[in-house]
């Protein structure tokens, strides 16, 4: 699984919406990117301090994108490739197969970007490792 969709933009996936919600996908094809909110259903435990991928120091979970979160909610921004009924083909996805989708929102570059945003402890630690490692299991402490 890609660690972050942005560092594995060639990863492709299929998002399938239940038939009863398919009508809600009307007009979504005009957007190039989507925000996906999902349930980290295989994350069975949480840690308030984690060692994130880009660092060797324990950090507060809310200052990271680590999956071991108390609320078990994940978010990713994907590129929309195509829409076919209740199915969206996307790229840059970083979710496990079968992950429950909570919501889909259109990405709007007039609203969503913040070019003056600060990156805190992440600073200039650019992600060099595209794929997830065993750091965050489904239980226990980070490995």
**pLDDT tens across 101-125, in order?**
999 999 999 998 888 888 788 876 6
Assigned superfamily of 5-108: YaeB-like (2.40.30.70)
**pLDDT tens across 75-94, in order?**
999 999 999 999 999 999 98
Token duo for residue 3: 């660690």
Question: What pTM was estimated for this model as a whole?
Answer: 0.78
Instruction: Output the DSSP codes for 68-113.
Output: --TT-EEEEEEEEEEEETTEEEEES----TTPPEEEEEE--TTTS-
**On the CB side of 133, how many CA atoms lie within 13 Å of its CA?**
10
Q: Where are the domains of the chain?
A: 5-108
Q: How remote is the C-alpha of 98 from its chain's centroid?
A: 14
Per-residue pLDDT, 115: 85
């Amino acid at each position: 699984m890609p660690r972050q969709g942005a560092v594995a933009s060639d990863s492709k996936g299929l998002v399938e919406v239940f038939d009863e919600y398919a009508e809600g996908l009307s007009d979504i094809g005009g957007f190039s990117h989507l925000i996906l909110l999902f349930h980290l259903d295989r994350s069975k435990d949480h840690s308030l301090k984690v060692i994130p991928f880009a660092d060797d120091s324990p950090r507060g979970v809310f200052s990271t994108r680590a999956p071991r979160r108390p609320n078990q909610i994940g978010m990713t921004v994907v590129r929309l490739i195509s829409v076919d009924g209740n199915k969206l083909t996307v790229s840059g996805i970083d979710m496990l197969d079968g992950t429950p989708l909570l919501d889909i929102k259109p990405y709007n570059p007039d609203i969503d970007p913040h070019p003056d945003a600060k990156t805190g402890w992440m600073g200039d630690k650019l992600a060099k490792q595209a794929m997830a490692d065993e750091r965050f299991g489904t239980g226990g402490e980070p490995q």
